[in-house]
Amino acid sequence: MQVTDDRINAIDIRNAVKRYGDFTALKTISLSIRDNEFFTLLGPSGCGKTTLLRMIAGFEDVTEGEIFLFGDEIEKLPPNRRPINTVFQNYALFPMMTILDNVAFGLEMKGESKAAARKRAGEMLELVQLSQFSSRKPSQLSGGQQQRVALARALAPSPKVLLLDEPLSALDLKLRQAMRFELKELQRETGITFIFVTHDQEEALTMSDRIAVMSAGELQQLGDARDIYERPSNMFVADFIGETNLLEVEVDAVEAGRAQVHLGGGHQLSVDAVEGVGKGAKVHMSVRPERLYLSEGAEGPESLAGTVRANMFVGTDIQTLLDLDGGVQISVRSSNSERGNKRVFEPGQIAHINMEQGAARLLAD
């Protein structure tokens, strides 16, 4: 098997289904993860992302379907025969063993001599800058250090794929942000495919080469961070990722890649057409609040007039809430910077809401 061959995916999941009795946790998932990729499974808790990860690791049976690792079918293999290692959410460091023995464990189980395993383990600890702690027990380390030991332990046997199950969730905010860069760096250095599970969209957006958004046991969208943020393919993704205005619209006409729509209050707008949304369709439109700006008069054709209801100070931004005719509500974010120098409207004043190019996106469902 040629690992360097670009056409061979690190992981191929084909029509995988997971059922527990009557409950279907995963509904026919097909997914390919490329070699040397930082891939993220993102979704709210209960969406099936951890189940999918555990199926790749071998902790859960696959009810139907196949999983391939660099072209080899693995879904029937027990976890100890898959060259895949996992960083567990609670790290699962063996409490009675020293840090060095923890890191050496996988190599020893693979049949390497104790001396060789320990030598390699020492190198791994150096890589994560924990050499001075090698003779300590896990409980004597901080959360961040334990996390790096867990990484070293999982990487020591040189797995073909590394699975990470919400590895940052137990850390405090500052450490979590620092670890994002470390993880990304480690992935680049080792060249190993990382599959990362998280419910934290910021983590997913900042670290991943590609993201699979999941919900209710189904794959909602697959793409890079920009795709998912700016071109959400459905209501769930638009709503789950970031903050957005979801507006009900009716399509009046579709022509030359543009769709003419109107809102509840009769406001007319022209937006990019989307496949599957034709004339007469009543669908939702997603508009990111930071892609809107306020002005006294209309600037451009895609402009709506509304009454300011309230301003909220959110630190980096100021969020303005406006009422439009027909009970429509829109939130607008403007940057809290001198350079922006946009006028702040007081509650009760009339303001025009202007859209940047491509800010609005029609959603098929």
Stretch that binds another protein, among 57-65, 295-303, 316-324, 355-363 (CB under 8 A): 57-65
Site for another protein in 120-139 (CB under 8 A): 137, 139
Closest distance between another protein and the C-beta of residue 300, in Å?
43
- Choose which of 1, 2, 7, 45 interacts with another protein (CB under 8 A): 45
Q: Does 193 engage in binding with another protein (CB under 8 A)?
A: no
Which of 5, 15, 46, 365 is close enough to bind another protein by CB under 8 A? 46
Q: What does the angle CA 212 – CA 12 – CA 363 come to, to the nearest 5 degrees? A: 30
Contact pick of 1, 2, 78, 132 for another protein (by CB under 8 A): 78
Choosing from 55, 69, 84, 263, the residue that interacts with another protein (CB under 8 A) is 84
Q: Is residue 22 a contact residue for another protein (CB under 8 A)?
A: no
Does 68 bind another protein (CB under 8 A)? Our answer is: no
Compare residues 58 and 232 and give the one whose CB is closer to another protein.
Answer: 58
Among 118, 148, 199, 352, binds another protein (CB under 8 A): 199
Angle (CA) 158-161-166 rounded to 5° is 110
85 binds another protein (CB under 8 A): yes
Binding residue for another protein, selected from 35, 37, 75, 166, defined by CB under 8 A: 166
According to CB under 8 A, which one of 1, 95, 174, 339 is a site residue for another protein? 95
Q: How many residues bind another protein (CB under 8 A)?
A: 44
105 binds another protein (CB under 8 A): yes
* Residues in contact with another protein by the rule CB under 8 A: 25, 43-51, 54, 57-59, 78-81, 84-86, 88-90, 92-96, 105-106, 109-110, 137, 139, 153-154, 157, 165-166, 169, 197, 199, 217
